[in-house]
């Protein structure tokens, strides 16, 4: 065998039963090696890194990293890092491991000077990162930038924004969580207040801005474009761009993103599109077929982190912890066994740990079980208990979990609480575990050294290769590994645990799962399900019909934006408003005449100006739901009078801007008045436990008869968030249409939409402030600290407000939020 022909296939064939294989196995099991074994391993590592294919090079690197960390001998890793351009590693070795006598290195002075070429502000970047930065900086056309999670894409997006402040720029993000994080990152990098205002909601746009920066989800951006038919953007930065490919769960959102791109390019053919993703196999797949644009790309093949995988089957195996060796595709028995999840977590935990579960329901269930276990010691959390108790409720499950060093994080929590949880977990060393869901897949950064997957699914499907890689990439981010104060090269070896537990499907084969996701030669292929990205010649008849429907929908939103011929446009105002507000609960064109008739009947028989929540819900039913085939099952419930009465109550709370504690109390009183089967309350698929009718396909209800007071309180918290989301994403669209038809009293409309008719509070809400904070800081004793420019709605807040709020004993969550808005850590 020629030395320059070493491949992974040959390695598996020729090295399987050799002296090397035995030494390598001992290294993985952390067993002491003798000098001969060490010499043999390092010799082969050098051979692999210089004369092997990319996968064999990764094996050589793994040997070097594992050896260096085990024996605290970083000279081999230093030499490799210098040769490969992994400058953050070599600089950290110089900074923290000087006992390795690096000063004796002949070229040490030269290397130290050389490494300064890779300094960015107060940190160092790798050669691959440098190429990505240079590519993005020098490229003023459409491009795709592909780099692993934690590789600095966020910093590149920030730099791109700040180098284009003279233009109209939009960062498109997939979630509200990433929206908040991106805004925070931009504000942190704003020097001398060069970026004072970031548009994060369509209503923040005044129409007079000559240049601005927006950070929006695709839904909010589409709404902004629909409300402002002449608005054009110069630059769109699309984060987590692989979401454009879509799948069965997110297809609607991927179509929305594609439609938004079409509108951007239709309005301004010179709009530059920059796509950012950790996993794009073929950049050409990101071309939306109805828009004509070329695209260049840049990626990196660096492998700075080298993962160590573990599997443990706690259900139907001997419960032995095994190492999965991704280069041989074999499992190594560690001889360690565990009886249950909690024992495993406590034995294998690190300083900061992520526990992944698929369902929010399971997240809370396990968090409570974990917190109640006797093996977890209580910690002193002081003011955190009071803060959350005052803001939400003293019986909130999160409080008891935090007392045991555990937090949880999922979409069923109030948004400000999720941000607060991220903050305290990042800053407090005594909080060790965050139990979370696929929110991590969309860019949420939480510091962690190990990740434990207690489920291998996202939704109803197994995590794909790209989703799995993206998830585990959240562990040991570069900012943690290479931190000049707390950095640790042991973090180059993230530990990933795949655990078959009661939260996993009984038929799941975790060994097959890890093999088909982590085997080193596994390639990530783009799974393109979005019809807007497919060649029409490749579509079947059903797909062509679906594409035509989507294109017709887009044409009614933005005329002449596609190549579709003989478009059947709606003619009535009410149908046009349905398109403008992205109504997708029924076929607008099919039911246009029914909408017209329903509106005419309503105007003839009802008080035309709506002033109460009862009238509002009745108007939505009579105009939009009566004799119309509704697709969305949640909305369909409003065809029943009891459901309308329930949502009238919820909207009443919203119009009075009731606090969480007030709403929880109202729910508890409401439930106490229910009897018999009415105590089976609808809570939806995420949290449902029982079926109400034998025809139900899924459990969508919770039986309050079997819940104690604490459980009811926590159900109320979940229910409030679910209903707030339903109003925000479903009902509010219909309320907007009624307002545009001038059927709602203006003051009442503002109270329903904002929870207040106070212009200052509304301005704060438009700028992303929570209703709780807006109500707090518009009180008389804080008004001197706040200035609002009415023409631009620009808000200037003095930092002194924080001290005043602390003196007045305001809730720490509100103080945390105000710090976030004025960018004070």
CB 75: neighbour CB atoms within 10 A?
15
How far is it, in rounded angstroms, from Cα 501 to Cα 604? Answer: 61
User: Does 273 score more than 60 pLDDT?
Assistant: yes
Q: Output 187 or 170, whichever has higher pLDDT.
A: 170
Largest CA distance in the chain: 94
3-state DSSP call for residue 496?
strand
User: Does 549 score more than 70 pLDDT?
Assistant: yes
Range 185-213 average pLDDT? 83
pLDDT tens by residue, 214-270: 999 999 999 999 989 999 999 999 999 998 998 655 567 899 999 999 999 999 999
Query: β-strand 330-337 against 320-325: which pairing, if any?
Result: antiparallel
* pLDDT the model gives residue 678: 87
* pLDDT the model gives residue 2: 47
3-state DSSP call for residue 298?
strand
DSSP 747-765: HHHHHHHHS---HHHHHHH
The answer to whether the beta carbons of residues 308 and 323 sit under 8 Å apart is: yes
Architecture of domain 129-299: 3-Layer(aba) Sandwich (3.40)
DSSP 498-529: EEE-TTS-TT--HHHHHHHHH-TTPPP-----
* pLDDT the model gives residue 569: 92
Is the Cα torsion angle 747, 753, 755, 761 positive or negative in sign? Answer: negative
Domain boundaries, the chain: 3-124, 129-299, 305-358+446-529, 360-436, 570-751, 758-821
Q: Output 128 or 572, whichever has higher pLDDT.
A: 572
Say what the pTM is.
0.91
Domain 360-436 in the same topology as domain 129-299 = yes
CATH of domain 360-436: 3.40.50.300
* pLDDT the model gives residue 212: 92
* pLDDT the model gives residue 8: 81
Q: Output 59 or 383, whichever has higher pLDDT.
A: 59
Q: Which long-range contacts (CB under 8 A, 24 or more apart) does 5-11 make?
A: 6/47, 6/48, 6/51, 6/52, 6/53, 6/56, 7/52, 7/53, 7/55, 7/56, 8/53, 8/55, 8/56, 8/59, 8/327, 8/520, 8/521, 11/52, 11/56, 11/59, 11/327
How far is it, in rounded angstroms, from Cα 389 to Cα 399? Answer: 8
pLDDT tens by residue, 710-724: 999 999 999 999 999
Indicate the Cα dihedral angle 343, 348, 350, 355, nearest 10°.
Answer: -70
The average confidence (pLDDT) of the chain is: 89
Residue 356 — pLDDT band, cuts 50, 70, 90?
A: very high
* pLDDT the model gives residue 790: 61
pLDDT tens by residue, 744-789: 999 999 999 999 988 889 888 888 888 999 999 999 899 899 888 7
How far is it, in rounded angstroms, from Cα 55 to Cα 205? Answer: 50
Residue 213 Rama label (left phi>0; alpha psi -120 to 50; beta): beta
3-state DSSP call for residue 194?
coil
Q: Output 645 or 247, whichever has higher pLDDT.
A: 645
Task: Return the CA Rg of the chain.
Answer: 28
**In degrees rounded to 5, what are phi and psi of residue 237?**
-105, 115
- In the chain, the percentage of residues whose pLDDT exceeds 90 is 58
User: Does 430 score more than 80 pLDDT?
Assistant: yes
* pLDDT the model gives residue 1: 42
Range 128-152 average pLDDT? 89
CB 666: neighbour CB atoms within 10 A?
17
- In the chain, the percentage of residues whose pLDDT exceeds 70 is 94
Residue 443 — pLDDT band, cuts 50, 70, 90?
A: low
Range 491-495 average pLDDT? 95
* pLDDT the model gives residue 792: 55
How far is it, in rounded angstroms, from Cα 391 to Cα 395? Answer: 11
pLDDT tens by residue, 72-127: 999 999 999 998 999 999 989 888 776 555 555 545 555 666 666 777 777 788 88
* pLDDT the model gives residue 493: 96
């Amino acid at each position: 065998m020629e030395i320059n022909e070493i491949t992974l296939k040959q390695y598996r064939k020729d090295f399987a039963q050799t002296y090397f294989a035995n030494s390598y196995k001992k290294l993985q099991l952390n067993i002491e090696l003798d000098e001969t074994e060490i010499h043999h391993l390092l010799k082969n590592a050098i051979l692999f890194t210089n004369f092997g294919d990319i996968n064999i090079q990764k094996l050589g690197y793994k040997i070097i990293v594992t050896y260096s960390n085990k024996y605290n001998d970083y000279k081999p890793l230093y030499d490799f890092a210098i040769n490969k351009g992994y400058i953050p590693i070599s600089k950290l070795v110089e900074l923290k491991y000087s006992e390795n006598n690096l000063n004796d290195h002949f070229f040490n002075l030269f290397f130290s000077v050389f490494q300064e070429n890779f300094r960015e502000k107060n940190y160092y970047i790798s050669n691959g990162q440098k190429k990505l930065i240079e590519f993005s900086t020098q490229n003023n056309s459409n491009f795709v930038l592909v780099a692993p999670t934690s590789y600095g894409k966020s910093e590149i997006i920030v730099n791109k924004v700040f180098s284009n402040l003279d233009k109209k720029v939009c960062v498109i993000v997939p979630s509200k969580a990433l929206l908040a994080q991106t805004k925070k990152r931009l504000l942190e990098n704003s020097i001398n207040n060069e970026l004072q205002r970031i548009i994060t909601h369509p209503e923040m746009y005044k129409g007079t801005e000559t240049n601005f920066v927006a950070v929006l989800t695709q839904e909010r951006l589409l709404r902004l474009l629909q409300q402002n038919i002449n608005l054009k953007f110069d630059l769109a930065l699309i984060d987590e761009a692989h979401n454009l490919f879509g799948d069965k769960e997110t297809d609607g959102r991927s179509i929305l993103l594609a439609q938004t791109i079409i509108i951007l390019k239709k309005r301004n053919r010179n709009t530059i599109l920059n796509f950012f993703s950790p996993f794009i196999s073929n950049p050409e797949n990101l071309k939306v077929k109805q828009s004509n644009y070329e695209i260049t790309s840049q990626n990196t093949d660096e492998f700075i982190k080298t993962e160590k995988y573990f599997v443990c089957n706690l259900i139907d195996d001997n419960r032995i912890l095994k190492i999965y060796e991704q280069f041989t595709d074999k499992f190594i028995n560690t001889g360690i066994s565990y009886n249950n999840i909690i024992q495993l977590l406590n034995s294998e935990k690190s300083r900061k740990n992520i526990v992944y579960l698929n369902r929010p329901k399971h997240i809370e269930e396990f968090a409570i079980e974990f917190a109640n276990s006797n093996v977890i010691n209580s910690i002193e959390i002081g003011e955190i208990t009071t803060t959350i108790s005052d803001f939400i409720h003293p019986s909130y499950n999160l409080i008891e979990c935090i007392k045991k060093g555990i937090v949880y994080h999922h979409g069923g929590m109030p948004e400000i609480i999720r941000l607060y949880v991220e903050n305290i977990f990042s800053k407090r060393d005594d909080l060790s575990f965050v139990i979370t869901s696929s929110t991590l897949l969309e860019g949420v950064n939480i510091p962690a050294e190990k990740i434990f997957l207690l489920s291998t699914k996202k939704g109803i499907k197994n995590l794909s290769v790209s989703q799995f890689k993206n998830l585990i990439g959240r562990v040991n981010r570069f900012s943690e590994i290479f931190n000049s104060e707390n950095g640790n090269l042991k973090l180059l070896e993230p530990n990933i645990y795949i655990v078959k537990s009661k939260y996993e499907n009984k038929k799941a084969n975790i060994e097959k799962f890890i093999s088909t996701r982590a085997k080193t030669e596994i390639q990530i292929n783009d799974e393109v399900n979005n019809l807007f990205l497919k060649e029409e010649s490749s579509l079947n008849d059903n797909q062509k019909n679906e594409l035509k429907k989507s294109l017709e929908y887009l044409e009614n939103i933005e005329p002449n934006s596609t190549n579709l011929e003989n478009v059947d446009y709606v003619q009535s105002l009410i149908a046009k408003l349905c398109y403008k507000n992205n109504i997708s609960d029924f076929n607008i064109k099919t039911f246009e005449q029914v909408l017209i008739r329903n509106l005419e009947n309503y105007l003839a028989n009802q008080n035309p100006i709506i002033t109460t929540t009862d009238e509002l819900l009745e108007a939505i039913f009579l105009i939009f739901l009566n004799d119309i085939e509704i697709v969305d099952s949640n909305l369909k419930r409003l065809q029943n009078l009891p459901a309308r009465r329930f949502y009238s109550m919820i909207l009443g709370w919203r119009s009075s801007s009731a606090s969480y504690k007030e709403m929880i109390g109202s729910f508890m009183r409401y439930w106490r008045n229910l009897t018999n089967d009415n105590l089976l309350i609808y809570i939806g698929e995420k949290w449902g436990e029982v079926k109400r009718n034998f025809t139900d396909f899924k459990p969508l209800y919770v039986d309050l008869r079997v819940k104690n007071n604490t459980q009811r309180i926590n159900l109320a918290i979940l229910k409030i968030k679910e209903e707030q989301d339903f109003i925000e994403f479903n009902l509010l669209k219909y309320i907007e249409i009624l307002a545009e038809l001038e059927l709602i009293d203006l003051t009442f409309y503002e109270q329903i939409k904002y929870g207040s008719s106070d212009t200052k509070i509304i301005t704060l809400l438009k700028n992303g402030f929570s209703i709780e904070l807006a109500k707090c800081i518009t009180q008389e004793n804080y008004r001197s600290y706040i200035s609002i420019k009415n023409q631009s709605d620009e808000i200037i807040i003095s930092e002194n407000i924080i001290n005043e709020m602390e003196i007045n004993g305001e809730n720490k969550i509100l103080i945390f939020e105000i710090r976030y808005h004025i960018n004070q850590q």
